[in-house]
Amino acid sequence: MPALRTVITGTGSFIPNNIKHNQDFADQVFYSEDHEKITTAPHEIVEKFKDITGIEERRYADSDMNASDMAVLAAERAIADAGIDRETLDQIIVAHNFGDVVTQTIQGDTLPALASRVKQALGIRNPACVAYDILFGCPGWIQGVIQADAFIKSGMAKKCLVIGTETLSRVIDHYDRDSMIFSDGAGATIVEAREGGPESSGILSSAVQSHCVDEAFYLHFGRSYHPDSDDCTRYIKMKGRKVYEYAIKNVPLAMKECIEKAGISVTDVKKFFLHQANEKMDEGFIKVLYKLYGLKEIPADIMPMSIHKFGNSSVATIPTLYDLVKHEQLGNHELENGDIVVFASVGAGMNINAVCYRV
């Protein structure tokens, strides 16, 4: 008897046009967590940053564009790609972390919710289309997909729009070296209920973890590192070493759990779509994962990367990356029907999740 599957039927993304190159930071004065001026030459800091993260440039949104605006543009493309009537959507799920942050302000605006703004901008009148936001750190888009899958499997929804959108460029402390990691963007997907057999397209499994003891504040809001900064103004802060050590230990375990739930082997996975936060960290995830299976040889093209040109746009990184590969816009990466992929992310909370999906 056919089973109910949750299938990604359309994708879309919005990548801002404003490019911020590494050399644009070459004259920036950086301070440490202790508010002490870092004496290392800025160009040396930038070079070391590139070696560690792989980031060469990142994208910032136009001054008159907010996170919800980018979400609408990505959503329009996903709706067109899926070829659906937007009035038939049962849910609009928008993952973000800071809401709409108007240029030159630091306050996040989430009243009304971004999903409500997106629904209005899309012109959807159907009151049965429920719009709501998710705050789950960088894994927010994956968590939105997992929630949509649960609603679909329960019979409470048939068609959902899941979006990840963020303007991190407006919540960064420019005196903090970590600020060079972050960027802006939006990615969207349409997920629908489909009947199919064991080899049909759809979500095969998922795994989610939250570590909120010592790890809870590895990412947090704090004052600028500049010694004369305003105590009342807060920016995104990250304990980089702690995040790296936590992620390299726990993300591969979550991916392995997800793969085992799907009843497949790691060698069956065609592509890993990982949160684009740090090139070396993502490479480490795959190495540790394969080691858990006793494997040393890793296929050269198994991990698409967009971080080099687009930086870390939080919840938008994975849906944007998947959209680029799906439409063959990222080098030689491509997907065929039947390919199995894994989506996995880690971020503030600390939260980790993974989804195993057959294209």
pLDDT for position 181:
96
Residue 35 shares a structural domain with residue 155:
yes
Q: For residues 133 and 95, is the Cβ–Cβ distance under 8 A? A: yes
> Cα–Cα distance between 167 and 236 in angstroms, integer?
12
pLDDT along the chain (359 residues), means of 10: 89 97 93 94 91 95 97 98 98 97 88 98 98 98 98 96 97 94 98 90 97 96 93 91 96 98 97 96 96 94 96 98 96 94 97 98
Residue 162 shares a structural domain with residue 255:
no
Residue 168 shares a structural domain with residue 221:
no
Show the tokens assigned to 128.
Answer: 């049965």
**Domain C-terminal end among 196, 229, 247:** 196
pLDDT for position 231:
86
Residue 215 shares a structural domain with residue 167:
no
Residue 19 shares a structural domain with residue 73:
yes
Q: For residues 14 and 166, is the Cβ–Cβ distance under 8 A? A: no
Question: How many other CB atoms are there within 10 angstroms of residue 29's CB atom?
Answer: 10
Residue 46 shares a structural domain with residue 191:
yes
pLDDT for position 1:
58
Show the tokens assigned to 187.
Answer: 């990615």
> Cα–Cα distance between 100 and 84 in angstroms, integer?
27
Which CATH number goes with the domain that contains 165?
3.40.47.10
pLDDT for position 49:
93
Residue 156 shares a structural domain with residue 57:
yes
**Domain C-terminal end among 147, 172, 196:** 196
Q: Go through 243-275 and write b for each residue having 16 or more CB atoms within 10 A of its CB, e for each that does not.
A: bbebbbebbbbbbbbbbeebebebeebbbbbbb
> Cα–Cα distance between 177 and 110 in angstroms, integer?
28
- At 47-64, the pLDDT tens digits run 999 999 999 999 999 999
Residue 335 shares a structural domain with residue 309:
yes
- At 253-308, the pLDDT tens digits run 999 999 999 999 999 999 999 999 999 999 999 999 999 999 999 998 999 999 99
Range of the domain at 238: 202-358
pTM for this model (two decimals): 0.95
Show the tokens assigned to 60.
Answer: 């910032």
**Domain C-terminal end among 155, 176, 196:** 196
pLDDT for position 101:
96
pLDDT for position 248:
97
Residue 184 shares a structural domain with residue 208:
no
Residue 265: which residues within 8 A CB-CB, separation 6 or more?
259, 293
Q: 3-state DSSP call for residue 334?
A: coil
Residue 206's beta-bridge partner residues?
A: 355
